[in-house]
């Protein structure tokens, strides 16, 4: 009897062990399946994000990951960058006269480890208690090999300085005295020049003879686009004067205008092509290119815009300025829009009228 019970017990134990092994195998199989599902899910998600990134469809949190904010064409990210700098440094006093002081100054662009240079015109008299109100003059395209720090737009600088403003014309990287400090690239498909402007704003806000609460932009042609983009990135700008500018969305610019600053500059062409290879062309009108266009963010800007365009401009489509006027009007955004029947791209014929109108805006805002 004892022997029978012992055999029965052994069989029971064997059955229990077999069941246990089967249960363990089932659990392991389930765990393996779960790992596979998670891995496939991760791969699908990564692939989806890769495709989305290619077409510019990532949301802000995803796009932020790993991107350098100040260099991002996505203006939601560029608006988050800090653009540090230090006080403006006097490099050289130039000839004075006509009640003006003329100087070469420098400022830091720490994000890109650069020291850049600018031309400064100041009234030659005691500064106001709050410092001189500032106009940053963003110059149009001149071949980087021909650009001269002390040449170009000096008539504009003299007018505004004689009327009580500190007028600063930055070289932008790779040009004039800033040659060797970075590379002159695209104003449209690179954030380089806007990083220069934003760093200059940070520098002048730390300079005691300048009024950090009265900062204005004035841009011609390529410089008008730089000024427009800065106006939606920065909260420090009061007014922006835009002359003969390619100032539409990047889709509009791509479809109607080939900027000479890109077409005639091999470095800019390379930057442009790299952007197209990565994101597709602005003509595809993806979410990425919408977020790279300053016109998308006009409703976030408190800047007073004043637009000037010559109806005889043979270089930049005048429709771009008209469309910006329409966009601002639709938003009920404070702005002024002027056309000049006798105006070409340089707007030299109506320049004194432009000075008068822009000065009136500066004085009343």
**Of 140 and 38, more confident:** 140
pLDDT score of 29: 47
Predicted local confidence at residue 141, as pLDDT = 96
* Listed range (43-52, 274-283, 316-325) with the worst mean pLDDT: 43-52
Work out the average pLDDT over 15-38. 45
Interval 265-288 mean pLDDT: 95
At 57 the pLDDT is: 39
| Residue 97: Cβ-neighbour burial (10 angstroms; 0-12, 13-18, 19+) | exposed
**Cβ distance 294 to 229 under 8 Å?**
yes
pTM equals 0.83
Q: Specify whether the CB–CB gap between 87 and 207 falls below 8 A.
A: yes
* Integer Rg of the chain from CA: 30
The residue ranking higher by pLDDT, 71 or 50, is 71
Q: In this structure, what token pair is assigned to residue 201?
A: 């704003």
The reported pLDDT for the residue numbered 64 is 44
Residue percentage of the chain with pLDDT more than 90 = 80
What is the percentage of the chain residues whose pLDDT exceeds 70? 82
pLDDT higher than 90, residue 304: yes
Q: What is the mean pLDDT of residues 310-320?
A: 97
Residue 340's DSSP bridge partners are 310
The mean predicted confidence, pLDDT, of the chain is: 87
The pLDDT value given to residue 66 = 60
Residue 92 CB neighbour total at 10 angstroms: 11
Indicate the Cα dihedral angle 7, 10, 15, 16, nearest 10°: 140
User: Domain 71-364 in CATH: superfamily?
Assistant: Alpha/Beta hydrolase fold, catalytic domain (3.40.50.1820)
Q: Closest by alpha carbon to 119, among 86, 160, 91? A: 91
pLDDT of the residue at 25: 54
Read off the pLDDT of each residue in 113-119 and give the average, rounded to a whole number: 97
- Residue 1 pLDDT > 60, yes or no? no
Weakest-pLDDT range from 24-38, 75-89, 202-216, 287-301: 24-38
Q: pLDDT grade, residue 21 (50/70/90)?
A: low
**Distance (Å, rounded) from C-alpha 187 to C-alpha 183?**
12
Q: What is the pLDDT of residue 139?
A: 97
pLDDT of residue 50: 39
Confidence at 49, pLDDT banded by 50, 70, 90: very low
Mean local confidence (pLDDT), 79-99: 93
Asked whether residue 172 carries a pLDDT value surpassing 50, the answer given is yes
Residue 137 has a pLDDT of 98
């Amino acid at each position: 009897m004892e022997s029978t019970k012992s055999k029965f017990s052994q069989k029971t134990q064997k059955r229990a062990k077999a069941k246990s092994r089967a249960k363990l195998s089932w659990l392991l199989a389930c765990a393996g399946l779960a790992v596979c599902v998670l891995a496939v899910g991760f791969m699908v998600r990564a692939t989806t994000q890769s495709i989305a990134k290619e077409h510019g469809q990532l949301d802000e949190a995803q796009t932020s990951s790993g991107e350098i904010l100040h260099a991002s064409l996505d203006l939601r990210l560029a608006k988050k960058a800090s653009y540090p700098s230090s006080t403006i440094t006097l490099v050289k006093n130039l000839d004075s006269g006509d009640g003006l002081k003329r100087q070469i100054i420098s400022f830091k662009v720490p994000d890109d480890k650069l020291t850049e240079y600018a031309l400064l015109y100041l009234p030659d008299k005691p500064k106001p208690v709050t410092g001189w109100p500032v106009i940053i003059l963003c110059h149009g395209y001149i071949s980087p090999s021909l650009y001269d720090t002390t040449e170009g737009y000096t008539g504009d600088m003299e007018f505004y300085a004689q009327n009580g403003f500190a007028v600063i014309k930055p070289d932008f990287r790779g040009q004039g005295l800033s040659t060797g400090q970075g590379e002159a690239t695209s104003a449209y498909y690179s954030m380089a020049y806007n990083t220069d402007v934003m760093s200059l704003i940070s520098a002048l806000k730390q300079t005691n003879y300048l009024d950090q609460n009265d900062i204005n932009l004035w841009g011609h042609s390529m410089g008008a686009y730089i000024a427009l983009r800065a106006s939606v990135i920065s909260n420090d700008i009061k007014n922006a004067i835009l002359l003969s500018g390619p100032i539409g969305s990047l889709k509009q610019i791509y479809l109607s205008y080939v900027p000479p600053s890109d077409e005639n500059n091999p470095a800019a062409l390379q930057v442009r092509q790299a952007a197209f290879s990565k994101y597709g062309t602005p003509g595809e009108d993806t979410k990425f290119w919408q977020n790279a266009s300053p016109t998308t963010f006009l409703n976030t800007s408190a800047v007073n815009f004043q637009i000037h365009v010559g109806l005889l401009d043979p270089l930049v489509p005048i429709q771009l300025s008209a469309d910006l006027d329409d966009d601002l009007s639709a938003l009920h955004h404070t702005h002024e829009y002027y056309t000049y029947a006798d105006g070409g791209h340089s707007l030299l014929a109506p320049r004194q009228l432009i000075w008068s109108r822009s000065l009136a805006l500066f004085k009343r805002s």
